[in-house]
Amino acid sequence: MKSFKWPKHSILAFAVLATWIKTVIVYHTSFDMKIENGMQLFILCINPLSFVLFAYGISLFFKKAKSRNRYILIVSLLLSIVLYGNVAFYRFYNDFITLPVLFQTSNFGDLGTSAAAIVNVSDILFFADVILLFVLLKLVPKFKEEITIRKEVRSVYFVLSVAILLLNLGLAETERPQLLTRSFDRELLVKNIGMYNYHLYDLYIQSKSSAQRALADGSELVEVNNYIRANQAEPNVEMFGKYAGRNVILVSLESLQNFVINNEMNGQEITPFLNSLTKDKDTYYFNNFYHQTGLGKTSDSEFIVENSLFGLGRGAVFFTHGGNTYNSMAESLGDNGYFTSVMHPNNKSFWNRDMIYQSLSIDKFYDVDSYNVGEGEAVNWGMKDIPFFEQSAQLMSEMPQPFYTRMITLTNHYPFYLDPEDIMIDEYTSNSGTLNRYFQTVRYMDEAVKLFFEDLKEQGLYENSIIVMYGDHYGISENHNKAMAMYLEKDEITPYDNALLQSVPLFIHIPGSNDGQVVDEVGGQIDIRPTILHLLGIDTSKDMQLGSDLFSEDHENLVIFRDGRFITDKVVYASEVCYDRATGEETDINACKPYIENATAELDYSDAIINGDLLRFYDDKTGNLIQGSVK
């Protein structure tokens, strides 16, 4: 070490190069970012550099070597934490962290086995450069010497940093026009402007969102209201009010995707009870129905179902806008004499539920303290589904009627582990332990639902209820595409296939109706609110909702995803490519263009309502702006 003549700025150069090279390697090894051409590869390779140069370059302003070295080491550690945090998050969510997610720390203590499943011993390698940097600073005396940095040297250094940034942005704009103004896709942002610049951009967007609420007034609702009224679907005359006065039991089926329904795994039926409902005379089964969640996953599905609005593209509405004014389904039902509740055997503060449920006008939250979790009945996230359903049916028998209760199941949750006594079918055999176990937890949930129907009958609640069950979000992410291709007997999972795999089942079971059927209508979670309210005879014509009644003859065969993808009965739009729905082949983009504009408008309007808290200016009883709300 002492015999080698180290250049006086070599520690800065080492830190810059190590972080830059490590970031590019991580891009290629830890994230599934599709590179279509040489220009995209070049952009991906240079995009960390401008921020890395700038962040470490601040050290040039320190006069003392000790302070300078400490700063370089701290920056190296912080950037490694940011990079690794995104890697760990991506392993589960197949997405990148946003600023609101970082403030959801109250959830982290409850992650348990889910977190353990995404952390590996080899992850220490993500900090290898920090460790080596620390060793060099300790062992090389040259790095402890004082250095005078000339002003012109600093100027040239930062001009280089800015030049690389402008080059990066220019190439990104050429490759993806209007990237920063129209993109709902975080992968596109990271791929084009880099991981670290993406987080700066996210900080800007979050600040803009906060300012949006402070500066908002009721006039912004006029355009939104005009759009909603122009696209409103009239209720189906025969179905409207047909089941008025019935109890509503809404069951969120954790991580349940549609590909398991009426399907087998190694000759074993995966969901025998739910399969029977698809042929049941009292059940409407929607087989072309999709989740529309973002990073909020289950909480997003709750929000969408309650409000018929989209979640946000960043973080979870439950955290970022829990104190907003909403016109929820629970509020509408409460105004019509219903007792409203949520049943979920988890910590009441998880996902900020105890706070936002007040904003959603929910009368009572039956959290984990409302249940007796006996020996062998606990799962990492709370309580197993079978005892949860059994105790919930007992609690429902004590509720004033009519009631509306929303239930959230837990067992079929990543990483999909079961106790041996709960296993009813064998594991699948693929390269993905996650997919292999998924079939077993789905089978357990199916059995739990079957027993729940029996519990409702025993409690005398079954005949006078509507039981609505839906998958809340995907269970198997794109990280397991190879295993999914094996199960589905495909060569590969394309963006077209992945979009269709976002299908989740929707069952509307109405005892005694005798007119159940399989419904092919394209729909999404945003349509559940108006569908249920119309079955009960509750008018929604003045509500600020973006969904429409699935039974309406005016319902459009279109479902929009939070990231801007969409599906109709004719086309699928994914990864900025238009596919023919019937063949899966790429088709003319003009077939998708009208829907692209529609999707962008709806996502923008929903974001405007939430970010501006615009419903505080709206009277849902009259359909008018609240007097004095326009500045």
CA–CA separation, 480 and 241 (whole Å): 44
Let me know if residue 575 belongs to a domain.
no
pLDDT at 6: 46
Residue 350's pLDDT is 79
The amino acid at 231: N
Q: Which two tokens stand for residue 325?
A: 């004014």
Clarify whether residues 320 and 180 are in a common domain: no
Q: Among 507, 535, 554, identify where a domain stops.
A: 554
Distance, in Å, from the CA atom of 270 to the CA atom of 439, rounded to the nearest integer, reads: 7
User: For the residues 577-592, what does the mean pLDDT come to?
Assistant: 97
Residue closest to 476 by CA, chosen among 312, 265, 320: 265
As a whole number of angstroms, the distance between CA 246 and CA 452 comes to: 18
Q: What is the pLDDT of residue 464?
A: 97
Mean pLDDT of 340-351: 89
Q: Per-residue pLDDT tens for 379-410?
A: 877 899 999 999 999 999 999 999 999 999 99
pLDDT score of 117 = 65
Q: Which two tokens stand for residue 432?
A: 């993905």
CATH of the domain at 399: 3.40.720.10
Same domain, 168 and 247: no
CA distance 56 to 154: 12
Is the Cα torsion angle 380, 381, 383, 384 positive or negative in sign?
negative
Tell me phi and psi for residue 372, to 5 degrees.
-100, 100
Report residue 618's pLDDT band, with 50, 70 and 90 as the boundaries: very high
162 and 279 part of one domain:
no
Q: Which two tokens stand for residue 305?
A: 């179902």
The answer on pLDDT for 77 being more than 70 is yes
Q: Residue 67: inside a domain, yes or no? A: yes
Q: Which uninterrupted H or E stretch holds 89?
A: helix 65-93
Give pLDDT tens digits for 489-533. Answer: 999 999 999 999 999 999 999 999 999 999 999 999 999 999 999
Whether residue 420 is found in the same domain as residue 535 = yes
Domain end (from 536, 554, 572)? 554
Residue 200 lies in a domain: yes
CB 87, CB 77: distance < 8 Å: no
Residues 194 and 250 in one domain: no
In a shared domain, residues 184 and 248: no
pLDDT at residue 185 greater than cutoff 70: no
CB 566 within 8 A of CB 523: no
Pull the structure tokens for residue 231.
């696209």
Q: Residue 355: CA atoms inside 13 Å, Cβ hemisphere, count?
A: 12
Alpha-carbon span 565 to 470, nearest angstrom: 21
Q: Pairing relation of β-strands 378-379 and 618-619?
A: unpaired
Please name which of 249, 525, 290 lies closest in space to residue 399, comparing C-alpha atoms: 249
Helix (H, G, I), strand (E, B) or coil at 199: helix
Neighbouring residues of 272: CB distance < 8 A, sequence distance ≥ 6: 446, 450
Residue 179 and residue 253 in one domain: no
Q: How far apart are CA 50 and CA 584, in angstroms?
A: 40
Is residue 103 predicted with pLDDT exceeding 70?
A: no
DSSP state of 251: E
Residue 560 pLDDT grade (very low, low, confident, very high; cuts 50, 70, 90): very high
With beta carbons less than 8 A apart as the criterion, state whether 628 and 616 touch: no
Mean pLDDT of 222-228: 93
Indicate whether 409 and 526 sit together in one domain: yes
Does a structural domain hold residue 221? no
Active site residues: 298
Report which secondary-structure segment, H or E, holds 342: strand 339-343
Q: Looking at the domain assignment, is residue 571 inside a domain?
A: no
pTM, to two decimals: 0.79
Span of 18-22, 99-103, 216-220, 573-577 with lowest mean pLDDT: 99-103
Per-residue tokens: 315 = 């973080």
Confidence class of residue 630 from pLDDT cuts 50, 70 and 90? Answer: low
Q: Which of 435, 527, 414 is nearest to 487 (CA)?
A: 435
Q: Domain tally for the chain?
A: 2
Q: Is 406 helix (H, G, I), strand (E, B) or coil?
A: strand
377 and 416 inside one domain:
yes
Tokens of residue 163, six digits: 């030049």
C-alpha distances (whole Å) from 558 to each of 39, 155, 292, 599, 602 are 34, 54, 12, 9, 12
CA 606 – CA 564 distance, rounded (Å): 13
**pLDDT more than 70, % of the chain:** 93
Same domain, 296 and 413: yes
Q: Which residues are paired to 252 by β-bridges?
A: 408, 470
Q: Which domain holds residue 489?
A: 237-554
Residue type, 530: P
Query: Do 267 and 415 lie in a common domain?
Result: yes
Last residue of one domain, picked from the residues 554, 584, 602: 554
Residues 457 and 542 in one domain: yes
Encoded tokens for 191: 């791929």
Within a domain: 141: yes
Angle between helices 298-307 and 528-535 (to 10 degrees): 50
Give the number of other CB atoms < 10 A from CB of residue 165.
20
Cis peptide before 48 (omega within 30 of 0): no
Does residue 121 form part of some domain? yes
Is 302 part of any domain? yes
Burial of 105 (C-beta count, 10 Å sphere; 0-12/13-18/19+): exposed
Q: Which residues pair with 524 in a beta bridge?
A: 290
Q: What is the mean pLDDT of residues 326-334?
A: 98
